[in-house]
Amino acid sequence: PPPPLPLARGRRRRGRAGRRGISGGTGGGGVDPAAVPGHSGRGTRTGDAMGQTVLLTGGAGYIGSHTFVALRAAGHDAVILDNFSNARGDVPDRLEVITGAPVRVYRGDVRDAALLARIFAENAIGAAIHFAALKAAGESVEKPLDYIDVNLGGLTALLKAMREAGCFRLVFSSSATVYGTPEVLPVPETAPRGYANPYGFTKLACEQILEQVGASDPRWAIATLRYFNPVGAHASALIGEDPQDFPNNLVPFVAEVALGKRAALNVFGDDWPTRDGTGVRDYIHVEDLARGHVMSLGHLIATGQSHTVNLGTGRGYSVLEMLAAYSRAVGRELPHVVAPRRAGDVAEVVADPSKAAALLGFRAEKGVDEMCASSWAFVSRRRNG
């Protein structure tokens, strides 16, 4: 079992019935627990029993929802704060079905200082994982102020609320985007940082804010996790990547081709200096990524030491290789056309995963076939309601 989370200073949980802005999951929501592979049917230990809780900002989103499940499986509890700007309203119900226990959700904005204070007052929070952010690199070029406001304002508000509550353990969602165009492959954490768009700027700025804050007070223990390319979905096929707008990323777009919503994948360039001319990335199964958060949190608790690690597999796949893997999952060849290179793209980004292995004992286990099969199971189930 993981070590117990230390409690925030002097805080006591109060009753939640009837509180404005909080919704305990209602259960059900059209999801039949009996239809969930791997659902135990047993109740899972909750924070009410343990009195210890992890705050997940953006916890209804893609990576946050899978991390919620992984935390529960590891014996932790979690409270979600999400404004549902990029998450479906039924995610909490689905998390209840998967974990077999109530899900506590605060609907609101991570920049809302009063709401954050209330969450810390009402829950014995021992640590936070900060997922909530805007994440579309292309959109950030059109709306830089929105990205600066949500991504920097959200982190700042959370850090202030945590300090006020005496909670000093934080895991932060960073990105391989902070490496810009990597000069060395696979990319080690020591590689120079840069950015190519306002989204990347906000992730780099957040890392730098965390460095300054961490250096200011020894009580802080901060994990900066640089994700490579998360894909796939939970084995239950109840949660997964569910873009509310246009699918900008490769796998969500391929999924829409498989569903028949789009005619063909546009391959952004076949003249890159890679083995087949298409872009190469380090795709990591979202369940592996979620497990990485639990291990990082465990390390923060056990050692009190801040750390920055890559979360990737160390293995790169080209666009055409991923399309072939998805085609295998679907059982037919999915069409593609070659399109011009996308602005801001780079040829290849692959993680050096050795620090995460040495420091946290983390190794990604699932391969691209599992990533694509689980994505397909999720999107085809979602299509059928």
Site residues for ligand UFG, window 15-34 (CB under 6 A)? none
Q: Choose, from 62, 147, 199, 317, the residue flagged as catalytic.
A: 199
The reply on whether position 252 binds ligand NAD by CB under 6 A is no
The reply on whether position 227 binds ligand UFG by CB under 6 A is yes
Q: How far apart are CA 58 and CA 203, in angstroms?
A: 15
The reply on whether position 240 binds ligand NAD by CB under 6 A is no
- In the complex, least distance from residue 110 CB atom to ligand UFG, rounded to whole angstroms: 19
* Residues in CB range of 226: below 8 A, 6 or more apart: 174, 175, 176, 178, 179, 189, 308, 309, 310, 311, 351
- In the complex, least distance from residue 230 CB atom to ligand NAD, rounded to whole angstroms: 5
- Report the interhelical angle of 153-165 vs 198-216 (nearest 10°): 20
Cα 368 from chain centroid (whole Å): 18
Query: Nearest Cα to 128, choosing from 106, 148, 145, 147?
Result: 106
Out of 14, 19, 261, 342, which residue is the one contacting ligand UFG (CB under 6 A)? 342
- In the complex, least distance from residue 360 CB atom to ligand NAD, rounded to whole angstroms: 18
Q: How many residues does the chain have?
A: 385
The reply on whether position 206 binds ligand UFG by CB under 6 A is no
Contact 301, 365 (CB under 8 A): no
The reply on whether position 131 binds ligand NAD by CB under 6 A is yes
Active site residue 199: yes
Looking at the Cβ atoms of 85 and 305, the one nearer to ligand NAD is 85
Strand, coil or helix: what is 270? coil
The reply on whether position 61 binds ligand NAD by CB under 6 A is yes
Alpha helices in 192-240 (DSSP H): 198-216
Classify 93 in phi/psi space as left (phi over 0), alpha (psi -120 to 50) or beta: alpha
Closest-approach residue to ligand UFG (CB): 279
Which stretch, 34-42, 90-98, 161-169, 173-181, contacts ligand UFG (CB under 6 A)?
173-181
* Residues in CB range of 353: below 8 A, 6 or more apart: 186, 310, 311, 312, 313, 314, 362, 363, 364
- In the complex, least distance from residue 317 CB atom to ligand NAD, rounded to whole angstroms: 15
The reply on whether position 195 binds ligand UFG by CB under 6 A is no
The reply on whether position 195 binds ligand NAD by CB under 6 A is no
* Residues in CB range of 90: below 8 A, 6 or more apart: 29, 30, 31
Catalog residues that contact ligand UFG under the rule CB under 6 A: 135, 137, 175-177, 199, 227-229, 248-250, 253, 265-268, 279, 281, 319, 342, 345, 349
Catalog residues that contact ligand NAD under the rule CB under 6 A: 58, 60-64, 82-87, 109-111, 131-133, 135, 150, 154, 173, 175, 227, 229-230
